[in-house]
Amino acid sequence: MNTFYVISNTQKDPELRNAKIIQEFLRKKGKKCHIQTTKSNGVQEHYRYTDPGGIPEDVECVLVLGGDGTLLQAARDLVDRGLPLLGINMGTLGYLAEIDRKNIRPALEKLIREEYSVEHRMMITGTAYHQKRKLLEDIALNDIVITRGGRMRVVDFQVLVDGEFLCGYSADGIIVSTPTGSTGYNLSAGGPIVSPEASLMVLTAVAPHTLNARPIVLPEDVEITIQMGTAHGADADGAVATFDGDTMVRLNAGDKIVITKSQRKAALVKTKQTSFLEILREKMNK
């Protein structure tokens, strides 16, 4: 690799200090390195944080400094560019950002020497509807989560798979997770941990009001429809669907969201030979 682009979370990298250190290191190695210096105002339709059109055409790798949240944002914004992303964790816990501060230079050396691999991770697309009118369509690498919209009221959900009724829930919410997202909110809600190399979807209810609700693992090629029932209470606030904890759309009784496997994938760079099980042991024991 000869040309790099750095996206840095300025809350974790004030004044782009680490980004500039990386840029200087790569330039001394005879490589080119650009740093993102402008942020989106959030009103663009095709991206929210990083303008893919602002990345030079000769860039071969995007270095993302922050945490898993920053990497998720970059993956969604840049998915159509197909650029491999290397996450550099500036926080304390991360499953996606594999490099920590002390290993930045060794990782960069491996990139320069072409000693890396690229994992292609499944993403999902969700389309929200009010009657037949499309409210929002977006993509997620981790999960699409539907939760109550306000006060402490449970919501009724009807779940259909390929148009066939599967089950109904009265719950605080529902998570539809990718294998990558299985170690996120899905894990906290009692869902299964799935190898990120798999291609499937996991359906997990959040605090279901029943004794027999269990997470459900579904094939990659199904269409999941979640239909909104009524929230309990005359003054209930409906529900909200959230994509990777970022983009959101409000849903009311009768609205639905249709979730399918996306044709697009996120490309994540791996410079370590660490297995998923080793990473899991390390993170779970912290």
The model's pLDDT over 164-187, given as tens digits with 9 standing for 90+, comes to 999 998 999 999 999 999 999 999
Q: Which pLDDT value is given to residue 230?
A: 67
Taking the C-alpha atoms of residue 188 and residue 20, their distance in angstroms, rounded to an integer, is 36
Answer whether residue 279 shows pLDDT above 80: no
CB 18 within 8 A of CB 102: no
Position 232 confidence tier, pLDDT thresholds 50, 70, 90: low
**Which position has the higher pLDDT, 134 or 48?**
134
Q: Which pLDDT value is given to residue 37?
A: 83
Q: Which pLDDT value is given to residue 93?
A: 63
Q: Which pLDDT value is given to residue 189?
A: 94
Return the minimum-mean-pLDDT range out of 34-43, 127-136, 227-236.
227-236
Taking the C-alpha atoms of residue 52 and residue 60, their distance in angstroms, rounded to an integer, is 13
**Which position has the higher pLDDT, 204 or 213?**
204
Residue 13 is among the residues annotated as catalytic for this protein: no
Give residue 109's identity as a one-letter amino acid code.
E
CB 66 within 8 A of CB 91: yes
Kindly name the residue from 68, 77, 138, 244 that is annotated as catalytic: 68
Q: Which pLDDT value is given to residue 236?
A: 54
Q: Which pLDDT value is given to residue 231?
A: 58
By residue count, the chain amounts to: 286
Q: Coil, helix or strand for 157?
A: strand
Return the minimum-mean-pLDDT range out of 4-13, 138-147, 170-179, 229-238.
229-238
pTM: 0.90
What helix, strand, coil percent values describe the chain, rounded to 5? Answer: 20, 40, 40
CB 9 within 8 A of CB 65: yes
**Mean pLDDT over the full length of the chain:** 90
Answer whether residue 159 shows pLDDT above 90: yes
Q: Which pLDDT tens digit goes with each residue over 88-120?
A: 998 766 678 888 888 999 999 999 999 999 999
CB 85 within 8 A of CB 99: no
Q: Dihedral through CA 183, CA 168, CA 247, CA 94, nearest 10? A: -10
Q: Which pLDDT value is given to residue 235?
A: 46
How far is Cα of residue 6 from the mean position of the Cα atoms in its chain?
A: 19
